[in-house]
Amino acid sequence: MLGSSGLRKRVAALGRDVRTLFDDLRGVHPSPLVARRPGRHPAPTAPATAAPSATSAAARPLVVRELHRETLDALTIVLADPTGAPIRFVPGQFLTLLVPIDGETVRRAYSICSSVDDPAQVAVTCKRVAGGKVSTWLHERLAVGDVLSVLGPSGEFTVTPDPATRRDLLLIAGGSGITPIMAIVRAVLAHEPDSRLTLIYGNRTASDVIFLPDLDALVAAHPGRLEVHHVLERGVDGDGGTIAGARVGRLDRATVAAALDAVADRVGPDAHVYVCGPTAAMAQVRDELTARGIPAARRHEERFASPERGAGAAAAQRLVLARPGGDVDVVVPPGSTILDAGLAAGVPMEFSCAMGGCGACAVDLRDGEVELDEPNCLSPEERGRGRILACVARPMSPCTVVVPR
């Protein structure tokens, strides 16, 4: 029987061979343990949420074409397919970068910020996190000409532009939460001539505002169609820089309430709201939107933080993968996920981001108990009926999961 380190090596080798291997959305902070009692259960139903769009289970090599320093702590990475093949995505989706650091491949998700109208390349923006392993490596080590393996695009925090559509969108971003929203802004302005967008954007200081020149240019190019309302924690930074008309304060409930009052005449009653930013800010925004009676069907959130890895069981656990073509019995070493074990056994399990953010790897837990890395994209309804994400689920007991195919 393979030990934990041996299985990890085997999984890594399989990933190279097949070019795979590669907060919370609704304000719920559930226990990371999901349990199911053994016994007969109804056939699994389809998930309540839409199936993820434009996902890719195979890692794709992309070359770094350009690097742009947006702010002192924000770096935009422009990627292209070395074969010249197009890179297509839906505005608001993200890519998962497989970053090689000290002999280990580390996964991190970054939202696409570029235009859908230039499929020859795609751009993501990485904000340096204090002590962040991957963000520090990208800022200090990545160079033009390097090749990165990439999973995706993934995610459902999206807007599909339609020239025949006329809509109002309210966008609320904090810090680097602007990145998926920037792609949405670019696409809607380019393809929906009758739509209007209102952006409330919070940062610490003017010098921390990512894409400030781009936003100013878009406002000037589309008068009346895009308004940007800045919120600065410090109205003036250390160099005396500021933004005219910016609201001073944190992106908290009180500040958001005042900003929403200021744009009430512009944002229609049927507007959809897109929110992306730090977890604490998103919770404050969520509370205010709830208090204003904006229904969940018109609210969209993008999880900002990477999931925290659970400890998992101390001993290996038996796992049965129930499939239409016959069950597969595997052993999951301590710390490994259901997806790790399934792929190592040669089971063709679907996945995309491999970080719990897109739902492509969702399976049904028939019996047993698993620990999930949190936060992830599962809804309370999905959790309630035993839906789990194979990429962030670690068995805590013998388990049986239903794999769609």
pLDDT on residue 374:
83
pLDDT on residue 304:
59
Of the segments 22-31, 41-50, 256-265, 339-348, which one has the largest average pLDDT value? 256-265
Residue 175 has pLDDT above 70, yes or no: yes
Domain ranges of the chain: 4-47+308-402, 60-154, 168-302
> Is 168-302 the same fold as 60-154?
no
Work out the end-to-end distance of the chain between its first and last CA atoms, rounded to an integer number of angstroms.
Answer: 27
339: confidence class by pLDDT, cuts 50, 70, 90 = very high
> Hey, CA dihedral for 131, 392, 345, 147, is it positive or negative?
negative
pLDDT on residue 305:
62
Q: What is the CATH number of domain 60-154?
A: 2.40.30.10
For the stretch 261-277, pLDDT in tens is: 999 999 988 999 999 99
Cβ atoms < 10 Å from Cβ of 335? 17
Backbone angles phi, psi at 336, to 5 degrees: -85, 155
107: confidence class by pLDDT, cuts 50, 70, 90 = confident
168-302: in CATH 3.40.50.80: yes
What is the rounded average pLDDT of the residues 50-67? 67
Residue 191 has pLDDT above 70, yes or no: yes
1: confidence class by pLDDT, cuts 50, 70, 90 = very low
Residue 44 has pLDDT above 70, yes or no: no
b/e burial code for range 129-149 (CB count within 10 A of at least 16 → b): eeeeebbebbbeebeeeeebb
Residue 180's identity, in one-letter code, is: P
Instruction: Please say whether the beta carbons of 151 and 96 come within 8 A.
Output: yes
19: confidence class by pLDDT, cuts 50, 70, 90 = very low
> Hey, CA dihedral for 162, 163, 164, 165, is it positive or negative?
positive
Supply the mean pLDDT for the chain: 84
CATH architecture of the domain 4-47+308-402 equals: Roll (3.10)
SS (H, E, C) the chain: CCCHHHHHHHHHHHHHHHCCCCCCCCCCCCCCEEEECCCCCCCCCCCCCCCCCCCCCCCEEEEEEEEEEEECCEEEEEEECCCCCCCCCCCCCEEEEEEEECCEEEEEEEEECCCCCCCCCEEEEEECCCCCHHHHHHHHCCCCCCEEEEEEEECCCCCCCCCCCCCEEEEEEEHHHHHHHHHHHHHHHHHCCCCEEEEEEEECCHHHCCCHHHHHHHHHHCCCCEEEEEEECCCCCCCCCCCCCCEECCCCHHHHHHHHHHCCCCCCCCCEEEEECCHHHHHHHHHHHHHCCCCHHHEEEECCCCCECCCCCCCCEEEEEECCCCCEEEEECCCCCHHHHHHHCCCCCCCCCCCCCCCCCEEEEEEEEEEECECCCCCHHHHHCCEEEHHHEEECCCEEEECCC
Residue 244 has pLDDT above 70, yes or no: yes
User: In this predicted model, which residue has the larger pLDDT, 190 or 129?
Assistant: 190
Q: List the single range of 47-56, 103-112, 199-208, 254-263 with lowest mean pLDDT.
A: 47-56
What is the rounded average pLDDT of the residues 28-54? 36
User: In this predicted model, which residue has the larger pLDDT, 33 or 353?
Assistant: 353
pLDDT on residue 271:
95
pLDDT above 70 covers a percentage of the chain that reads 83
What is the rounded average pLDDT of the residues 121-138? 94
pLDDT on residue 240:
63
Task: Kindly state the tokens that stand for 375.
Answer: 């936060």
